[in-house]
Every structure is written in C-alpha cells, then in structure tokens.
C-alpha cells in the first residue's frame, strides 16, 4: 500500500506544467488568442470554431524528474529510484495540470459597417490540478520514523486542489481609438467536481524518552479535505457511471460561480505595441454534494514503541488515537477562488509590407509588418507563492495567410523551453498548431515538460480592416 501511494504521488508529479499559453498570447491570426487577452487587436466580420476541435490544449511535465528517472531499465532497484527521487525533490516542487477543450466558440462585429466593436462567445471544459510534493509524508511512508528520531514531519506538505468545470463566456472588444483597444469577458463557471485541501498544518514527531526503547510520539493534526460533487461516488449504494455523472454535473448542473477577464492593447508607436490581460478573476460557490472531512486534535504517546501486530494488537492505543484526533464530517458550503492569471507583453514590429488580399488577421492598423520581436511575462496565483514565467518571442508572416511564431521561455521548470507555432488560412478555413518544449521530443521519456494546442476555425474577414 505504501509503495502504491508513493508511485501515485510520483506519477502525478509528471504532470507539472503551468497554464502559460505564451505561444497563443497575442498570436492574433488565431481567434482563440482573445481567450488569453480580451483586448487583443483583431478584426473580422465574424468567425466560428469547429465544435470540439476549435481549441484543444494539454500539458504535462515535471520540475524535478522525468519518467526515465523512475522507469529506466538501467539495473537500479525500483525502490532506490523512488528514494533518489524523493531525496532530490523539495516540498516546494509543484504539480500542475491543465487541460482545456473548447466546446463551441464564435464572434461577430456589432454596430454597423464602420464599427470596430465585436462580441465573442463560447464554452469550454477545463480540468485544473495543483499539488505540492508532500516530501515529509513520502519519506515517512517509505522509511517510517525509525531513522528520524527527533524529526518533525510537516503535515502542511499535504497541499492539493483539483477541479473539473465548464466555463460559459461572452466578451466585448472595441478599438476605442487608433492607439487603444479594450476588451472584457464575463464568465459563468459550473463545477462538476472539486477537491480542496490547502490549509493544513500540524506535525508527526517521535522523540527519545527516558530509558531503553522509551519514546515520546506526538501527532498534532489540523487536516481538512473539502469536496463538492464527489462524495456520492464513495457510497456503497452508488451504481452509476462516474465519468457520465461528472460530465452531467459539469455543464450547468454543478456548483456555480462568476468571473471576468479584461485586457488591452496600446500602440505606443505604429510599430511598438504594449498588451496586458488579467484572467479568471472569479469564484465558485461549492454547494452541490458537499462534504468536508477533518482530522483535528493532538495525540501523545509515551512509552515503549508499540508492536502493531495481530498478536499484540494495541486496541486501547487505537481507541485513544481516535478519541484524540477524531474524523468529523461536515456539510457546509464553501467558496473556491479561481487561480488568477496575468499576461503582459511588449512587441516591436519591423519590415513594413502592404497586403492586397482579402484577409488581415493581424489587427486593423493601416501599416502591416512582416516581423515582430518582443517579450512577455506570465504570472499565476498559487497557495504558497506565485508562478512566474518570462518569454522572448519572434513572429513572422511567411505568406499572406501563413504566420509563424517562436518562443523561448524561462520558468521554474525549464531554462530551455523552445516553442513553435503555425497558423494558416486556406480560403475561410483556419488551422493552427502550437508545440512547447520541442527539444524534449527527441526522447519524451526524459522530458520534464510537454505541451501542445491546436484548433480549427472559419474566419470571415472584412477586407477594409
């Protein structure tokens, strides 16, 4: 059981990659770029995405080890591999998983032929997971406390949250002047399942007592797990399908919440552009199928280290432990806040060109540029400290309807993250593909992070913009 728990923790660590979409950000030939900046400078008559295929993204990675470290056929004992991974990991190592699937999307111009105001709308499904590596608990599960007399194992290392939800949104975007574009988006969240355990504290301590084999063992516990939309699946009488029931709850049948995005684009000069956006400022009121489990209290044992076997079962010790740190179940509603994300970039364009064709997806500025370079910063709120990433990028219009973007990103997971993206339009049909960490594809077993996005859209452009 201990080994199974450790393997589960380590496998989850493979999925640690923040929701940074630096390739999509300000890649304005892709309509979905407005999802990461509602104030992106795009213009169109209207567009609509191919249902279920307009925006698909997934990411996986680890900031401390790779699959190769755990499963390599190199003659090293598996238990030693696990121990090496735990020893080199820290309690600040994070597991982050984010997956999104756009259900439908669209947008259209409002206000007449000369208007530069647009409305966009859509819905997407999202899975979001965050876990800090519980190093002290992993050591205790693997080695026990025999070699750690005098050490306190920190229960605050248990820090995890996960959610499956859908997001329905509508946005408004307007070019208010030649220099300034503003945009905002309202969101309705529907949470199908949520688990949150992020405010834990306490410790497990074993100290040397007086005399041979005499010990003092103290457990100070303040553990809490809040769940919504999950508890019915653990009941013996449940006979349904968990995936189907979670999917049913996710689309406006679960706990509801509200949020908003906001963004802008400002032209300092015709070829010098500043952008910024803030995303997912919102909350969900968890109110459906709610259950909170708590283990709170203090247990102290003084004496000979107990022998927990079938012959000498210390029933009185278990009874004392249950009385000192009881398991309580509460049914109170609770509020979860969405992880807020911030983007900002500065972009310098050069290589002026004029397009004679129908499509212009780069914005409505009169001047067109073939090249652009710049820098972007991304930040996301987390329970312990914010995640921050810095990106340098280069964009190029290869042909009139084929655009290329390359990014180089530095964050806590990698200093060698090179990303490549293409967006092409054939007639009205737009297809795009974005891939992060391309160097890692040489041997994905040694990869510490991988990410991709792709989508299909139909874009109907106004030739005058």
Per-residue pLDDT tens for 108-117?
998 877 778 8
User: Do the domain assignments include residue 393?
Assistant: yes
pLDDT at 359: 46
Q: Kindly state the tokens that stand for 268.
A: 């300092």
Taking 80 as the threshold, does the pLDDT of residue 8 lie above it? Answer: no
Q: What is the pLDDT of residues 414-459, one digit of tens each?
A: 788 899 999 999 989 999 999 988 887 776 666 666 788 999 999 9
User: Do the domain assignments include residue 13?
Assistant: yes
User: Do the domain assignments include residue 362?
Assistant: yes
pLDDT at 215: 78
pTM here?
A: 0.85
Burial class (CB in 10 A: 0-12, 13-18, 19+), 112: exposed
Range of the domain at 49: 2-132+161-194+228-246+258-285+346-460
Please say whether the beta carbons of 132 and 94 come within 8 A: yes
Q: What is the pLDDT of residues 381-400, one digit of tens each?
A: 888 888 899 999 999 999 88
Report residue 220: phi and psi, to 5°.
Answer: -105, 110
User: Do the domain assignments include residue 439?
Assistant: yes
Burial class (CB in 10 A: 0-12, 13-18, 19+), 37: buried
Q: Name the residue among 101, 40, 34, 123 with its Cα closest to residue 454.
A: 101
Taking 60 as the threshold, does the pLDDT of residue 15 lie above it? Answer: no
Gap between the Cα atoms of 276 and 266, Å rounded:
9
User: Do the domain assignments include residue 314?
Assistant: no
Q: Name the residue among 270, 269, 276, 417 with its Cα closest to residue 345.
A: 276
User: Do the domain assignments include residue 206?
Assistant: no
Please say whether the beta carbons of 61 and 450 come within 8 A: yes
Please say whether the beta carbons of 335 and 284 come within 8 A: yes
pLDDT at 366: 57
User: Do the domain assignments include residue 267?
Assistant: yes
User: Do the domain assignments include residue 438?
Assistant: yes
Number of domains, the chain? 1
């Amino acid at each position: 059981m201990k080994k199974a728990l450790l393997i589960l923790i380590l496998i989850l660590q493979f999925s640690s990659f923040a929701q940074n979409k630096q390739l999509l950000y300000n890649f304005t030939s892709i309509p979905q770029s407005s999802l990461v900046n509602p104030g992106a400078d795009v213009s169109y008559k209207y567009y609509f995405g191919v249902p279920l295929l307009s925006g698909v993204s997934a990411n996986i990675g680890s900031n401390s080890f790779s699959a190769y470290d755990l499963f390599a056929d190199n003659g090293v004992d598996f238990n030693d591999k696990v121990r090496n991974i735990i020893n080199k990991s820290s309690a600040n190592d994070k597991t982050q998983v984010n997956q999104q699937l756009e259900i439908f999307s669209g947008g259209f111009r409002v206000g007449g032929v000369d208007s530069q105001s647009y409305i966009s709308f859509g819905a997407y499904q999202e899975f979001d997971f965050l876990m800090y590596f519980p190093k002290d608990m992993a050591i205790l599960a693997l080695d026990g406390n025999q070699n750690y007399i005098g050490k306190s194992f920190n229960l605050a290392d248990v820090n995890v949250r996960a959610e499956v939800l859908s997001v329905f949104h509508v946005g408004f975007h307007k070019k208010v002047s030649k220099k300034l574009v503003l945009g905002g988006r309202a969101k309705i969240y529907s949470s199908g399942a949520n688990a949150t355990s992020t405010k834990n504290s306490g410790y497990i301590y074993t100290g040397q007592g007086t005399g041979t084999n005499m010990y003092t063992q103290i457990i100070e516990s303040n553990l809490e797990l809040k769940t919504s939309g999950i508890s019915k699946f653990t009941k013996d009488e449940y006979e349904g399908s968990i995936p189907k029931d979670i999917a049913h709850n996710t689309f406006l049948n679960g706990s509801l919440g509200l949020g908003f995005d906001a963004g802008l684009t400002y032209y300092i000069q015709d070829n010098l552009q500043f952008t910024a956006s803030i995303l997912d400022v919102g909350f969900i009121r968890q109110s459906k199928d709610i259950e909170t489990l708590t283990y709170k209290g203090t247990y102290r044992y003084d004496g000979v280290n107990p022998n927990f076997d079938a012959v000498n079962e210390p029933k009185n010790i278990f009874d004392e432990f249950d009385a000192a740190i009881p398991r309580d179940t509460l049914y109170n509603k609770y509020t979860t806040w969405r992880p807020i994300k911030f983007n900002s970039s500065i972009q310098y364009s050069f290589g002026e060109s004029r397009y004679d064709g129908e499509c212009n997806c780069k914005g409505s500025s009169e001047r067109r540029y073939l090249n652009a370079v710049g820098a972007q910063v991304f930040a996301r709120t987390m329970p312990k400290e914010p995640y921050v990433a810095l990106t340098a990028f280069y964009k190029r219009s290869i042909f009139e309807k084929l655009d290329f973007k390359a990014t180089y990103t530095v964050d806590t997971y990698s200093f060698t993250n090179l990303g490549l993206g293409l967006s092409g339009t054939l007639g009205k049909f737009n297809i795009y593909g974005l891939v992060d960490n391309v160097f890692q594809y040489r041997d994905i077993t040694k990869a510490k992070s991988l990410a991709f996005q792709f989508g299909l859209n139909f874009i109907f452009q106004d030739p005058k913009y």
